[in-house]
Amino acid sequence: MLDVIGLSKKYNKTLAVDNVSFDIQNGTVGVLIGPNGSGKSTIIKSVAGLLRYTGEIKINNLPNKDIEAKKVFGYIPEIPAMFPLLTVREHIVYILKAYGLEIDNEKIDSLLKRFDLTDKQDKLGDELSKGMMQKVSICCALAVEPEVIMLDEPMVGLDPKAIKELKIIIKELKEKNCTILISTHMLEMVEDVWDMMILMKEGRKVGQYYKNQMGDKD
């Protein structure tokens, strides 16, 4: 469960996010939608604990700054950062170690397979295309089996097959009761997975919609 209460963020003079509140229940997908510059990334980075902000953000009722809260969330940035000298597989091993989790090779194999990375698992970070980096970044976030997961424009730069796989994974995460926050500027990317949608404009929340209120069925 994710609670965002009165979140504001100013970069120098730009008020990037202006008093935004929402919550996302376990097992549901919340989507931030809006044009470029409307504050979506800033919200996600704040939730991920990467920015200073005013307001309150709670993950499973703990402040997101709390180490116990950090342990349960996964974050997939819009622009993936890779270690140039680690292989694809080593990235996943690294993240599992950082979270203090056991290195489960079968789990790593199956994640790599889902994103067609099996043949590329020995490639180094600086040999990867943007799309491959995105896939590695998704594998790393999924490997830790987070309870709350944040995806910033996850479909951008992915091939159609990976987009399809990611949508299946999002549905699986919902079944596992995971809390999911996705930002996008393209509605069609989330139309079959969303439960709640927040419309952002110039840093403000200008609308909130629930799928079940709109008579939509899966």
Instruction: Please give the radius of gyration of the chain, using alpha carbons only, rounded to the nearest integer.
Output: 17
CB-based contact 12:197 (threshold 8 Å): no
**Cβ(147)–Cβ(174) below 8 Å:** no
C-beta closer to ligand ADP: residue 8 or 60: 8
Q: Which residue, 93 or 156, is less far from ligand ADP as judged by CB?
A: 156
CB of 177 to ligand ADP, least distance (A): 27
CA distances, 126 to each of 82, 94, 215 (Å): 7, 16, 47
For the bound state, the minimum distance from the C-beta of residue 82 to ligand ADP, rounded and expressed in Å, comes to 16
Given the rule CB under 6 A, which residues bind ligand ADP?
11, 14, 16, 34, 36-42, 78
C-beta contacts of 165-170 below 8 A and 24+ residues apart: 165/114, 165/115, 166/138, 167/192, 167/193, 169/114, 169/138, 169/142, 170/29
Return the number of the residue (14 or 208) whose C-beta is nearest ligand ADP.
14
In angstroms, give the least distance from the CB of 83 to ligand ADP: 19
Measured from the CB atom, is 12 or 213 closer to ligand ADP? 12
Work out how close the CB of 101 gets to ligand ADP at its nearest, in angstroms, rounded to a whole number: 28
